[in-house]
Amino acid sequence: MNAKILLLLVFLPMSALAQGFAGLGTEAKDFARPQPDPSFSFPADHGAHPDYRIEWWYLTANLTGPEGTAYGLQWTLFRSALAPGTAPGWDSPQVWFAHAAVTTPEAHHVTERFARGGIGQAGVRADPFAAWIDEWRLGGESFARMDLTAAGPDFAYDMALEARGPLVFHGAEGYSVKSAQGQASYYYSQPFFEISGTLTLPGGAVPVTGSAWLDREWSSQPLAADQAGWDWFSLSFDSGEKLMGFRLREAGGGVYTAGTWIGAEGRTVALDDGAFRAEPLETTQVAGREVPTRWRVRVPERGVAVTVAALNPRAWMDVTPPYWEGPVTVTGSHAGGGYLEMTGYE
Amino acid sequence: MTAAGLQALWSHWRRNPLQLFTLLAGLALATALWSGVQAINAEARASYAAAAATLGEGQFDQLVPRAGETMPQARFVALRRAGWLVSPVLEGELDRDGGDVRLVGLEPLTAPGGLGPVRPGAGGGDLADALGGGVVFAHPDTAARLAGLGPRVVADRGVAPGTAVADIGLAQRLLDLRGRISRLILAPGQPVGRPPLAEVAPDLVRRAAQGRAEVARLTDSFHLNLTAFGLLSFAVGIFIVHGTIGLAFEQRRGMVRTLRALGMPLRRLVMLMAAELALVALVAGGLGIALGYLVAAALLPDVAATLEGLYGAQVSGTLALRPAWWLSGLAIALGGTGLAAAGALWRIARMPILASARPRAWSMAAGRARRWQAAGAVGLLAVAGALAQWGGGLVSGFVLLGCLLLGAALALPLVLDPLLAAAQRGARRAVAEWFWADTRQQLPGLSLALMALLLAIAANVGVSTMVSSFRLTFTGFLDQRLAAELYVSAEDAQEAAALEAFLAPRARAVLPLLSVETRLAGRPAELMGARVGPTYARNWEFLAAEAPVWARVEAGEAVIVNEQLARRAGLWVGDDLAVGPGRRLPVAGVFGDYGNPVGQAIVGEDLFREMFPQVRATQFGVRSDDPDALRRALVAEFGLPRARIVDQARAKAASMRVFERTFTVTGALNVLTLAVAAFAILTSLLTLASMRLPQLAPAWALGLTRARLGRLELVRALVLAVLTAALALPLGLVLAWVLLAIVNVEAFGWRLPMHLFPVDYLRLGAFALLAAGIAALWPARRLARTPPSDLLKVFANER
């Protein structure tokens, strides 16, 4: 056998990730489901929620190097449960996997890791916060001050993070609806991190600084059964304002959109279905498929009409499952940068 | 015209059914032995590939404990957390009816790509089940033995035979080794910036992927051996076919002349004859493949046992029909026929249209080639001698064997002829004189069959000498090595200490088995520490030693090495060996270590503990005057699981059983070779019989009865067989010497002392005579019953 096939089989029952992202629409069965009007309790909710099927700690950063060169960085830890709950040792139904990447204008370095829960190889501790898999680690004295490390065969990074603003809750107080049928997840972010540190690239060490955005999301059936993939944007404008918006594509051609407008001080306004609009302007042939890498993004009620373009259109994540994720630049009514994630392009 | 030509060609076979039978049987036998051997080789290779894929051996570097069998699972997590991409493997034996099954526990999420047996649609669909601990994958042969184990067993040919694969969590449960792992597989593409291994896990050794290639090399030699046997049989079979075709074409010269005179174009005639032979080849090839399948299926279990016993390589005991195999069988049958018939067809094509149809005794052609034959024999034997003197390597050993056998076979008629001539000169009576002269006259026609007999007897003598020498040496070796009455193993160092304390007052001596995997003389090897005592001093025999061996080893002043290490590193008594950094010790002795592929060196216990203070023995040999009572005490009072105590008698019996099966295959192939030789004698005599009528008729006319002629015919076959057997004996002994002193050393790394077994040789000679006698019986009976009218016709007709 091929371990990759085995992995696909592992993920098949529970999610998302293997059979196109449509797998995220499978039935939740015995897992807990997100309920409206959530009340979060921190720091406990920074930790894992093993009764839910899928959960992630998702960090992206836009960085600048010594000569003004733009870089992007990603660190993502996924938890994916075969069954709700925990058990000690190899009997744990929790599976962990993680992706790390560094994007430069010319190159895209990416690597992945896998681990079983229950043996200590990967996990998340709420207080003091630590999320780890193998030697990769995101953690520190609190959720607001953390260190971040990851390494692959051809790159590594070692960064320090410091939050300059509050946590931001998406949807209705952190209850984020993903379809007209009501599929939803718990979703909050820390988009106000300042980040600095060193990228180790094949050409040598590069000192960098910039801003980072951490998403926390957990659910058991975040997508409706007919949703095939998504385009997700996290944009930081020079004005200090930020925009999170996603577009969920249905198999029939329809879309469901939602978003959050984040003021410079962290005040949020939820954007209902249709308020956030994104249309592809240009595609790139990457990994044998057409992927949109230049977008028109509009939020009429906020006067936003911008062009979002990939820093490196070839930022393909050749991992299990494969997707596109990379830093973007923003021009138009608002200028700035951010990250774009696109899944479900077959 | 084509139809008429076909009919004419076919009529020959209809009038000579025996010839057709000889042709088909010779070709079928040759194909059978060849393709049988190929089937066995193909099955074995498929099994090695499955094993390599299952276990990652040969593909990936591994980390293994420096000492002991397992390590804590925490070592895996610690290495991962330090940035080492490793995947844990647990291996152990499941005691099942019908033999132990090796259970391999893998961790599918971290295992490098290409490991393990699960394929989509193979029944392993629900991985939640596989990870959660519900599924065991096993080769179909093995799956049946796992019934009632508990978890669901999925049969899959991708798993090596005798092995089962499960999730590591399930394997830990089934083997009762919770929290333990055997080794770690290093994934390719490790991340940058890892700390060195010595810092994170000083008690682990990195074993390079090629570390196990040794096994592949060793099994290769075994397969080369089998292939050589198959080729030998095929060659003998093709001799038979060549003879038959030559005879048939000679006999059909008249028909060819007639057909051509009637207007059949030469080209079409040759095409028709080629097509006829192709058809015969296909039919015989098909028969041969079916026979070969039976041969392979019958031999495979023993081959599997041999390979496991000798090299620990697991091979499936059942045969899968592979297209590549039966296609190659047909191809070799066609090719062999073409080779055997090319000369005959060429002569037909070149024959002037009205050339006389007078049949020439085809066998007479052999006489003309005698000079060439002598030159060839001398040349081949010279090459063999040169290789024995200066050759090196396994291939050279086999080339030496080939040259020796072929050269001796070519020389056989040249040696037999003067012997027969001498007998003729010594004969006083007319009949005797005629008998010897007639025997000489027949020699060219029989020489191919006699060569086959010579080779078969020599192979038998050689191989039985090797096997019996091996058995004598091996039994002695077992007594030396398995001297302690009981062998016990502890789970960890703590239990080991308790066990040693428990045993000390109850046993005559407790011998810890201290060992580390290390590199000696630049090769992977095992270094052991021995508690020197009367057990060693009394039981060990050395191939070479410089007394007092054990006293010097005990004092830490010398080391002893096994033959494998000594030969590979070019060491011998008196040389220095670096056993550790900055520590060189003289070699005090070299000991035989049969069946071990790895080099080994032994130092005294004190020195070993000083060099490796962290290594604790977990296995002990126990000397006791009452081993049964001690074993009961270990189980009842100490609480040691029964499975961790092995008694000497059982270990010896198991080793001997492996040994006995080891050479069954060689024995079976020997019998088959002898059978092919007998068949060659039969067909040669039968084909000669019809041509010899003109030579026999005058003897009959002078008053020798047909019955007497028949008896003389039988006696002649026996005389030739006796002479051939007498010549085969020295050849067989030389063959045995080459096998023991050259091929064995190259293939296994040890040299066996050669012993002689005259009684065995006498029995073998009797068998060979029996085979020749049986083969000659039928032609002799036919001669005795030849109608007198046939004999009279010789004088009446112009032939």
DSSP per-residue codes, B523-547: EEEEEEEE--SHHHHHH---SEE-S
pLDDT tens readout for residues B275-322: 988 998 999 999 988 888 887 887 777 767 666 655 555 566 566 667
Residues 6+ apart with CB under 8 A from A335: A237, A238, A306
A-B C-beta contacts closer than 8 Å: 116
User: Within a 10 A sphere around the Cβ of B383, how many other Cβ atoms?
Assistant: 18
pLDDT at A11: 35
What is the distance in angstroms between the Cα of B153 and the nearest Cα belonging to chain A?
A: 17
Whether the CB-CB separation of B684 and B243 falls below 8 Å is answered with: yes
pLDDT at A16: 31
Which residue is listed with tokens 């090897």? B525
Whether the CB-CB separation of B166 and B136 falls below 8 Å is answered with: yes
pLDDT at B319: 63
| SS3 of B588-619 | EEEECCCCCCCEEEEEEHHHHHHHCCCCCCCE
pLDDT at B313: 58
Which residue is listed with tokens 């019809």? B690
pLDDT tens readout for residues B755-772: 888 888 888 888 888 888
In whole angstroms, what is the distance from residue B623 CA to residue B483 CA?
8
Does A43 sit behind a cis peptide bond, omega within 30 degrees of 0 on the bond before it?
yes
Q: What is the mean pLDDT of residues B487-510?
A: 83
User: Within a 10 A sphere around the Cβ of B430, how many other Cβ atoms?
Assistant: 9
Cβ–Cβ below 8 Å for B192 and A114: no
Q: Is A109 helix (H, G, I), strand (E, B) or coil?
A: strand
In whole angstroms, what is the distance from residue B275 CA to residue B245 CA?
14
Among A222-236, B377-391, B666-680, which is the least confidently predicted range? B666-680
pLDDT tens readout for residues B406-464: 899 889 988 998 999 999 898 888 889 989 988 888 887 777 778 878 887 888 888 77
Highest mean pLDDT range out of A273-277, B162-166, B262-266, B335-339?
A273-277
Q: What is the mean pLDDT of residues B527-534?
A: 84
Q: What is the mean pLDDT of residues B485-501?
A: 82
Mutate to test the interface with B, among A14, A90, A206 (most CBs of B within 10 A): A90
pLDDT at B213: 43
Asked if B85 has any chain A CB less than 8 Å from its own CB, the reply is yes
- Bridge-based pairing state of the strands B514-520 and A184-201: unpaired
Angle between helices B430-481 and B706-738 (to 10 degrees): 30
Does A128 sit behind a cis peptide bond, omega within 30 degrees of 0 on the bond before it?
yes
pLDDT at B358: 46
- Chain B nearest-CA residue for A133: B81
In whole angstroms, what is the distance from residue A314 CA to residue A310 CA?
9
Q: B584 forms bridges with which residues in the sheet?
A: B578
pLDDT at A208: 97
In whole angstroms, what is the distance from residue B609 CA to residue B587 CA?
19
Residues 6+ apart with CB under 8 A from B226: B37, B40, B41, B303, B665, B669
Cβ–Cβ below 8 Å for A156 and B192: yes
N residues, chain B: 799
Q: Using alpha carbons only, give the angle B254, B255, B260 rounded to the nearest 5 degrees.
A: 100
pLDDT at B632: 86
- Bridge-based pairing state of the strands B599-604 and B523-530: parallel
pLDDT tens readout for residues B235-252: 667 766 777 777 777 778
DSSP B344: H
Among B70-79, B125-134, B661-670, which is the least confidently predicted range? B125-134
Query: Which one is predicted more confidently, A299 or B743?
Result: A299
Burial B615-647 (b: 16+ CB within 10 A, else e): bbbbbbbbbbeebeebbebbeeeeebeeebbbb
Structural tokens at position B452: 């086959």
pLDDT at B15: 85
pLDDT at B126: 45
Nearest in space to B557 (alpha carbons), one of B527, B577, B534: B577
User: Within a 10 A sphere around the Cβ of B364, how many other Cβ atoms?
Assistant: 11
- Chain B nearest-CA residue for A121: B77
Asked if A7 has any chain B CB less than 8 Å from its own CB, the reply is yes
Low-confidence ranges of chain A (pLDDT < 50): 1-23, 25
In whole angstroms, what is the distance from residue A74 CA to residue A212 CA?
9
pLDDT tens readout for residues A269-321: 999 999 999 999 999 999 889 999 999 999 999 999 999 999 999 999 988 78
Residues of A in contact with B81 (CB under 8 A): 120-121, 132, 134-135
Cβ–Cβ below 8 Å for B169 and A4: no
When pLDDT is cut at 50, 70 and 90, the band that residue B368 belongs to is low
pLDDT at B131: 58
% of chain B beyond a pLDDT of 70: 82
Cβ–Cβ below 8 Å for A82 and B131: yes
Nearest by CB: A6 against B127, B169, B190: B127
Nearest by CB: A1 against B82, B119, B167: B119
Burial A170-184 (b: 16+ CB within 10 A, else e): bbebbbbbbbeeebb
pLDDT at B356: 47
Residue B794 has pLDDT above 60, yes or no: yes
Asked if B49 has any chain A CB less than 8 Å from its own CB, the reply is no
pLDDT at B797: 58
Helix (H), strand (E) at residue B78: helix B73-81
Query: Which one is predicted more confidently, B65 or A265?
Result: A265
Among A215-224, A227-236, B45-54, B595-604, which is the least confidently predicted range? B45-54
Query: Could you give all domains of chain A from N- to C-terminal order, each with its CATH number?
Result: 3-342 (2.40.370.10)
Q: Is B663 helix (H, G, I), strand (E, B) or coil?
A: coil
User: Within a 10 A sphere around the Cβ of B548, how many other Cβ atoms?
Assistant: 13
Residue B622 has pLDDT above 60, yes or no: yes
pLDDT at B363: 44
Cβ–Cβ below 8 Å for B119 and A5: yes
Cβ–Cβ below 8 Å for B192 and A200: yes
Residue B724 has pLDDT above 70, yes or no: yes
- Kindly state the greatest CA–CA separation across chain A: 54
- Kindly state the greatest CA–CA separation across chain B: 103
Asked if A149 has any chain B CB less than 8 Å from its own CB, the reply is no
Query: Which one is predicted more confidently, B113 or B757?
Result: B757
Asked if B158 has any chain A CB less than 8 Å from its own CB, the reply is yes
Residue B796 has pLDDT above 70, yes or no: yes
Among A16-25, B47-56, B704-713, B788-797, which is the least confidently predicted range? A16-25
Nearest by CB: A6 against B73, B118, B194: B118
Query: Which one is predicted more confidently, B21 or A119?
Result: A119
* Residue A183: HSE in the Cβ half-sphere, 13 Å Cα cutoff: 21
Average pLDDT over chain B, rounded to whole?
A: 79
Cβ–Cβ below 8 Å for A3 and B82: no
Whether the CB-CB separation of B226 and B38 falls below 8 Å is answered with: no
Residues of B in contact with A30 (CB under 8 A): none
pLDDT at B251: 75
pLDDT tens readout for residues B456-486: 788 888 877 877 777 777 777 777 777 778 8
In whole angstroms, what is the distance from residue A91 CA to residue A10 CA?
15
